[in-house]
Amino acid sequence: MDVEIRIQDTPLQPWSEMPPVHAGRPSVGGVVSFVGLMRDSNQGDAVAGMTLEHYPGMTEKALAQIVDEAGQRWQLEAVRVIHRVGELAPQDPIVLVAVASAHRGEAFQACEFIMDYLKTRAPFWKRERTAAGDARWVDARHSDDAAAAAWENGPES
Amino acid sequence: MDVEIRIQDTPLQPWSEMPPVHAGRPSVGGVVSFVGLMRDSNQGDAVAGMTLEHYPGMTEKALAQIVDEAGQRWQLEAVRVIHRVGELAPQDPIVLVAVASAHRGEAFQACEFIMDYLKTRAPFWKRERTAAGDARWVDARHSDDAAAAAWENGPES
Amino acid sequence: MIQVLYFASLRERLGRGDETLDQHPDTLAALRAQLAARGGAWHEVFAGDLRVLAAVNQEMAGEDGAIADGDEIGFFPPVTGG
Amino acid sequence: MIQVLYFASLRERLGRGDETLDQHPDTLAALRAQLAARGGAWHEVFAGDLRVLAAVNQEMAGEDGAIADGDEIGFFPPVTGG
């Protein structure tokens, strides 16, 4: 399994990052990707901007562990995780998770698994500025905890 | 829900097709895409090439119905399905399914649903040429039937 | 009059991709029986062990699918796209 | 000696992002109690209703997580990336 993990404070151009996930890998039958984008509203308020903070060093370790766990659960050819930090505007890509596998089912499962775990285990924090001028830390969502917990005992493929 | 469905006999460049799925849609929080690629082997034999045949007219209708059904099950902002026909070589992209939604869970479910239904309901047929020089029609897989059937009664989101 | 189309491996086995039938029965099941009665490859395809799917006017249809004048009937093997 | 880091809303509430402690207890639970004893915002963060996660040497750790000399301890709120 070929793995690349990157944290960057420059704009993420997700579709330019995709070819290396499958190019030159003739046994890859399917590539599943997730791109998370900054929305222009949250909890009913218009959002003007966002700052993404992280825990340098731990972030990379946590992501590597999550990807490694995915590689133990499913047969994967390549995984790429890229996450933005710093200042973002609405519609900016926040994260890319791309998974290549021989079979589509494994690629789908692994990609969603990585996202669900990233959402609960990777040390990133969002602070958003509303259009009204308030700044606030985004609260963690129970639905994210539930999504990650479902993998603990759920079917694996 | 903004829908685009296309069948083409020219090379599919999946990542160039992705920006319209989310650009200018500030309520989109996640985009899930699946790209199916031609593998260089099947059932233990090296494969040199493939011809994809389809049923013009019915193909577009079947895909539109599948996407429409996904739009009834989940809250989706945009869906794009592009499928190759004609002559393909190993590593060529065969199909792109991209789904944009406010929430990632819905985008994952809808994308996999569309692929599972496409695999069993859209009239495409693959004829492959092995490296040994034989030509053969690819058999439908029971695992694809099972994947589609699982959506009939399974959890919806 | 109906138009009948054959796709993929069926087209190859039957040696033709389409035909027009002036006379036609009312259901897909009866049409299959009528085609099988031609014998040879037709019997193999329409009365054998092969799984042959059908569409009426480009919509998947079961055995009891009704056929009316002017319809387009498609016969094909299980699909393998994606 | 241990290094203690505070992130995101915790850093803001506590007014600092990191500090070095010459003396330290053996477990995360004891370290939390020691920090809470400072009172004010420290008490609110480490003895209140907030959910505060911890990492020892950049690995998530529970209340019984052991602390040794030279360790890097991180405290932070539930994560919200992705």
User: Where are chain D's structural domains?
Assistant: 2-76
Q: What is the mean pLDDT of chain C?
A: 97
Q: For this complex, say whether ipTM is above 0.90.
A: yes
Under 8 Å between Cβ of B55 and C55: yes
pLDDT at B28 over 70: yes
Residue of chain A whose alpha carbon sits nearest to that of D54? A123
pLDDT of residue A154: 63
Q: Do the chains contact at D77 and A125, CB–CB below 8 Å?
A: yes
Q: What is the mean pLDDT of chain B?
A: 95
Q: What is the mean pLDDT of chain D?
A: 97
Q: Tens digit of pLDDT for each residue in A8-17?
A: 999 999 999 9
pLDDT of residue A157: 44
Find the mean pLDDT for residues B14-38: 97
In this prediction, residue A155 has a pLDDT band, given cuts at 50, 70 and 90, of: low
In this prediction, residue A34 has a pLDDT band, given cuts at 50, 70 and 90, of: very high
Q: Do the chains contact at B61 and C8, CB–CB below 8 Å?
A: no
In this prediction, residue C2 has a pLDDT band, given cuts at 50, 70 and 90, of: very high
pLDDT of residue C82: 96
In this prediction, residue B154 has a pLDDT band, given cuts at 50, 70 and 90, of: low
Find the mean pLDDT for residues A95-121: 97
Give dist(CA A45, CA B1) in Å, integer: 23
Residue in B42, B58, B96 to test binding to C, most C beta-carbons within 10 Å: B58
Token duo for residue B8: 């083409």
Q: Model-level pTM?
A: 0.95
Q: Does an interface of 3+ CB pairs under 8 Å exist between B and A?
A: yes
Residue in A104, A143, A144 to test binding to B, most B beta-carbons within 10 Å: A104
pLDDT at A156 over 60: no
Q: Do the chains contact at B123 and C79, CB–CB below 8 Å?
A: yes
Q: Does an interface of 3+ CB pairs under 8 Å exist between C and D?
A: no
Residue of chain A whose alpha carbon sits nearest to that of B22? A91
In this prediction, residue A111 has a pLDDT band, given cuts at 50, 70 and 90, of: very high
Find the mean pLDDT for residues D20-27: 96
Q: Do the chains contact at D9 and A58, CB–CB below 8 Å?
A: no
Å between B96 CA and nearest CA of chain A: 10
Four-way CATH pick for D2-76: 3.10.20.30, 3.40.440.10, 3.30.1300.10, 3.40.50.300: 3.10.20.30
- Chains touching chain D through at least 3 C-beta pairs below 8 angstroms are A
Under 8 Å between Cβ of A59 and A122: yes
- Chains touching chain B through at least 3 C-beta pairs below 8 angstroms are A, C
Token duo for residue C21: 């039938």
Give dist(CA D18, CA D39) in Å, integer: 18
Å between D73 CA and nearest CA of chain A: 11
Q: Tens digit of pLDDT for each residue in D57-74?
A: 999 999 899 999 999 999
Find the mean pLDDT for residues A42-69: 96
Q: Does an interface of 3+ CB pairs under 8 Å exist between D and A?
A: yes
Å between C50 CA and nearest CA of chain B: 12
Residues of B with CB below 8 A from C79's CB?
A: 119-125, 140
Contact partners, residue B24, CB within 8 Å, separation at least 6: A91
Q: Do the chains contact at B140 and C78, CB–CB below 8 Å?
A: yes
Find the mean pLDDT for residues B76-83: 98
pLDDT of residue B29: 97
pLDDT at C40 over 70: yes
Give dist(CA C7, CA C78) in Å, integer: 10
pLDDT at B132 over 50: yes
Phi, psi of A55 (to 5 degrees): -110, 95
Find the mean pLDDT for residues A55-75: 98
CB pairs under 8 A between A and B: 98
Q: What share of chain A has pLDDT > 70, as a percent?
A: 97
Residues 7-36 of D with CB under 8 A from A: 7-9
Of D59, D77, D79, the CB nearest to A120: D79
Q: Do the chains contact at B125 and C7, CB–CB below 8 Å?
A: yes
Residues of B with CB below 8 A from C9's CB?
A: 125, 137
Of A15, A29, A104, the CB nearest to B18: A15
What are the distances in angstroms from CA B10 to CA B58, B59, D8? 20, 17, 50
Which amino acid is it at A143? S
In this prediction, residue B155 has a pLDDT band, given cuts at 50, 70 and 90, of: low
Q: For residue C53, what are the β-bridge partners?
A: C76
- Chains touching chain C through at least 3 C-beta pairs below 8 angstroms are B
Find the mean pLDDT for residues D40-47: 97
pLDDT at A79 over 70: yes
Helix residue ranges, H only, D1-82? 8-14, 28-36, 41-47
Torsion-angle region of D39 (φ positive above 0: left; ψ -120 to 50: alpha; else: beta) = left
Token duo for residue A140: 């963690």
In this prediction, residue D45 has a pLDDT band, given cuts at 50, 70 and 90, of: very high
Å between B105 CA and nearest CA of chain C: 22
Residues of A with CB below 8 A from D76's CB?
A: 55, 123, 125
Q: Do the chains contact at C74 and B123, CB–CB below 8 Å?
A: yes
pLDDT of residue B153: 75
Helix residue ranges, H only, chain A? 19-22, 58-73, 104-121, 142-153
**Window from A82-86, A150-154, B143-147 with minimum mean pLDDT:** A150-154
Q: Tens digit of pLDDT for each residue in B30-62?
A: 999 999 999 999 989 999 999 999 999 999 999
Find the mean pLDDT for residues A137-153: 92
